[in-house]
Amino acid sequence: GVDKTGRRDLYTEKNILISGTHTHSTACGTGGTVLVDLTTLGFVKQNWEACVNGIVQSIMRAHNNLQLGRIKINIGQVDNCNINRSPASYLNNIDREQYKYNTDHEMTVLRFESIDGKNEIGMMNFFPVHAVSLNSSNLLVAGDNKGYASYLFEKSKNPQGTLPGQGKFVAAFGQSNEGDVSPNLNGPKCIDTGLPCEFYTSTCDGRNEKCIGSGPGNTTYESNEIIGKIQFEAAKVLYDNAQLYINGIANFRHIYINMQTINVSSHYTSTGRNETTCQAALGYAFAAGATDGHGDFDFKQSTNSTNPFWQYLSSFIATPTPEQIQCQAPKPILLDVGQTKPIEWVPFILPLQIFQIGQLIIVAVPGEFTTMSGRRLKSTIKQAFQDARSFRGLAPHHEHRTVSPGLYDEATSVITSPNFLPIGTPNKQK
């Protein structure tokens, strides 16, 4: 995509951060890896080209509109806009008492304006909530609650009659640590009885297919509008009252890391011992999905034991070695995606990025940070940059969840061992 801009001399994968809203209603088949594109029966070139061309067009529009400007930042709290969809796992975090909520309520707003302050240029917003207000029954491409919030903000700033996406003022609502965060405020209920689901396994009568989370509206579209509007209204207040200017140098760092071959110092691990990452694997609880979208075949969250039937079927993909089983423990391996031949199912070499504009630190990680893992990374960044205003965004590549060790047993979408979060911590410090 960068090559298509014709400005390879200015823009590379090192100094451009492409971060997603993580809408679950986007065009599929664009991941370029087996695991991600499996549900669409493979790579869909038409969808991929549409995404690339849109990104290129955005970069070129920004390039052609370069001007001197200034940035203001404001940070506030937004309540009643998200819930934790893995509350039982969150209780495993030993530092949970330090925080009032089991989700992050912090919203960061950047206000972009001309150097003289007379013209408003745009707004960037970062707040953690999954873009899954529209559930799997929706078959249309949509930006979900993040896209609706952007639509409302741009509509309020551009001239009346401006078509969506065509105005000069640009409003972007991005993600932060939303890995375990849901917009479905009513929480998970059993669809046959209306009673709450079993707390630890998110099941109803032992089955996960009946446990579904729902939003605050009467329909998914109404829920989407409600959650989007809450974000829009909160962002508008923070935007209008932004006073703190971003001042200082602009800098960036970008590295690629083989996530399967990293030694992790005892200083960063939960065991207090030197540890290592593992060959990639997905656990049984991964197949259970979440209350925003359940899996099939009656897999359950929090599963920490194997099943002979599924072991047999998964062995046709690859058979985990004793060393891999020990390394991934206590997670039972369902899919050994780290040893698939001849085609890799998941990427192992992934990017880490960090950008600095004055006191603003933007961290981009190749995975969805959960509430607590995001808080811990933010704390690390503040230790390295004392006056930093930081947030965590999604990097150009997605490697499932990044969780604190306390969530590892249930959230078996972490593919390269319980030490994935400790990997990012020292590397971000560097």
What does the block give as tokens for 289?
């999905």
Exactly one of 25, 89, 176, 182 is catalytic; name it.
182
Closest CA to 391 of 223, 184, 240, 172: 172
- 334 with 284: CB under 8 angstroms? yes
- Annotated catalytic, 315? no
* Torsion angle of C-alpha atoms 411, 416, 420, 423, degrees rounded to 10: 180
Cβ neighbours of residue 370 under 8 Å, at least 6 residues apart? Answer: 86, 177, 179, 180, 181, 401, 402, 403, 404, 407, 411
**DSSP H helical ranges for 201-254:** 220-240
Maximum distance among all Cα pairs of the chain, rounded to whole angstroms: 68
Give bridge partners of residue 187 from the DSSP assignment.
Answer: 214
| Location of structure tokens 């359950």 | 300
Closest CA to 321 of 264, 278, 274: 278
- 110 with 127: CB under 8 angstroms? no
What does the block give as tokens for 79?
């309540």
- C-alpha angle 155-161-162 in degrees, rounded to nearest 5: 60
CA 366, distance to chain mean position in Å, is: 8
Give the DSSP H/E element, type plus range, for residue 37.
Answer: helix 34-37
Residue 67 dihedral angles phi and psi, to the nearest 5°: -160, 160
What does the block give as tokens for 288?
């259970």
Give bridge partners of residue 401 from the DSSP assignment.
Answer: 368
State the catalytic residues: 182
